[in-house]
Amino acid sequence: MKKQVSIIRKKRLMEYLNSEEHKCVTHKERKTIFCDKNRILLCQLCSDSQEHRGHTHCSINVAVVEQMEKLLKQMDSLWKRIGIQQNYVEIERRTALLWLDYVKLREEMIRKVYRKLCPSLNEEEDQHIECMRHQSNTILEELRKSEAMIVHERSQLVGVYRELMTMSQKPYEVLLLQDLDDLFRRSELAANLDMQQGMIPRLGAHPNPGLTARFNSFRVKISFKHLIILSYTSIIPLDIRRLHENTCLDSAENHRASWGKSFSTGKYYWEVDLKDYEKWAVGVCNSAWIREGNYVTTSEGAFILECLRNEGHYSLITRRGVEHYIEKPVGRVGMFLDCEGGYVSFLDVAKSSLIHSYSPGTFHCAVKPFFSVVYT
């Protein structure tokens, strides 16, 4: 189709140039030369004249090809940018929906933990929920402002693209004689501007002193005697994780993994220092999940909190790919294990803040404390 259109447009240009009314008025010759400086069509004699001799000339066919190539190149560049911006818009909308779902689930999780372990700490529970709701509303407003900004930037790109499209469809004789310098300048400026990217929402840590004290009443010392090297990209399967779309993980890395003795009854609390590591996984797992010298191919049997990092961003995720929009702990992470309850909870020790708790009844088997970090 493009080839046929080009043939027709060239035929029309030749008819235009061969018509009597468009021949050179001075020399009555057909115009075959294009003067780039004055943006006019010339016959050969005018091209050789004193007036135009010092200007850059080329054949009209060559000028048409060059002008169209420049137009199409600008359009292609803008079209790619528009596509990227549209992707950012869709990411921002999905993030807002995920955010609302996450805050709702987190509120339910917090209430379950307090009512199971600390039913007397109603005031601390209510303060935590109220603070989280306030933060959530503020962040949701910021997400919507970010989306509006991206939509505005995309509409500006679309406007310039449409101008280029309109110009590319004009007859060749009009296209050649039109001064497109301003349009090209605006197009290049739009194509090279830094793009507004979507924000990654994060809830701030909220202190839970009563809950922390309750956890510490079950403190034990865990001896991580076993050590193997596991190779994986993420313990959480990549096809089900709901990570931010900008996250692009590297190929499988070697991780130094270790675990302690098995627990089948009772309640236990311990801590692991992770301040020197960017990517790690902590929690509990059953014996069947650990296979020495093998690759991690499933998260079944592992009940963990995993921290992934890529291009300056991090993600905290748990089983079934739930991403946690909260601050990453910068030091020690505490784990509370309730064997009868069948769940494990995670604590940001430095801020005495609850990170996440698996639902009661998540597992019904003996489990071992587990942690792994990137091996260097």
pLDDT in tens, 298-309: 567 889 999 987
Average pLDDT over residues 171-200: 82
- The whole-angstrom separation of Cα 232 and Cα 121 is 41
For 225-257, what is each residue's pLDDT tens digit? 777 766 655 565 543 333 344 444 444 567 788
- The whole-angstrom separation of Cα 194 and Cα 269 is 47
The mean pLDDT value of the chain amounts to: 84
Return the closest-CA partner of residue 272 out of 346, 341, 204, 342: 346
What pLDDT score does 239 carry?
35
Angstrom distances, CA of residue 19 to CA of 15, 152, 171, 214, 343:
6, 47, 15, 95, 87
Look at residue 86 and tell me whether its pLDDT is greater than 70.
yes
- The whole-angstrom separation of Cα 30 and Cα 53 is 18
Three-class secondary structure of residue 295 per DSSP: strand
- The whole-angstrom separation of Cα 329 and Cα 355 is 9
Q: Is the pTM of this model over 0.95?
A: no
